[in-house]
Copies of this chain bind each other. A is one copy, B any other.
Amino acid sequence: MGKLREPLNDIYGDNCALPLALEAMGERWSFMILRAAFNGVHHFEEFQQELSIARNILSNRLSRLVDHGIMAREVMAEDRRKVRYELTQKGIELLPAMIALRQWGEKWGAGVASTPVLVDTRDEQPIGPVTMTAHDGRTLTYGELLWKHRSELQPLGQARVRMAPVAAE
């Protein structure tokens, strides 16, 4: 493979984790494959039909996702022709990013109603927006945020605030 398209994390490496994430997911199809996977798609032909993606590209992308540890590839025992692609924990944790993107698309695209919908098991109501939270769990709006250089961070004041159960998995 090439050196023309130099990996983003080679360029920006230690400065920011975004390029690193993009190296794995920053392609047109990666999120679509992820979405299909979340929707219960597990096999090559299923992905191919769901997404109308070229077979060689699909092959390439699945390999890449596997290489990045986002999906796991397993040859099935009972029928060794079949290969099962499954999201790993690392892949599952891309859900907030994917949903955030989807919600943004819903809000700003001309009234697209995505299906299927993610609902709360408690009451089967659709979930709310993906939000940014403070270290104590409060939901933060853009206006309450500030960029700080890593060097000028406040040391965490003595346990004035207790860490909220800030779930992620």
Contact = CB atoms under 8 A, between A and B. Distances in A.
Interface of A: 8-9, 11-22, 25-28, 31-32, 35, 38-40, 52, 69, 90, 92-109, 112-150, 153-154, 156-157, 161, 164-169
A143 to B, nearest CB: 8
B25 A101 contact: yes
Closest 4 CB pairs of A and B: A17-B105, A21-B105, A97-B100, A17-B106
Contacts of A167: 131, 139-141
A128 B134 CA distance: 5
9 contacts: A20-B112, A22-B28, A26-B28, A95-B142, A97-B130, A113-B150, A115-B149, A120-B135, A130-B132
Given A100-B96, A105-B17, A150 B115 contact: yes
Residue picked from A13, A116, A137, most chain B C-beta under 10 Å: A116
Given A95-B142, A132-B96, A135-B128, A154 B20 contact: no
Given A26-B28, A97-B101, A120-B134, 15 more contacts: A17-B109, A21-B109, A93-B104, A96-B129, A116-B150, A119-B147, A121-B144, A122-B144, A125-B135, A127-B134, A127-B145, A130-B130, A131-B166, A141-B167, A141-B168
A101 B150 contact: no
A17 B154 CA distance: 39
Contacts of A128: 132-137, 164, 166
Given A31-B26, A141-B168, A121 B97 contact: no
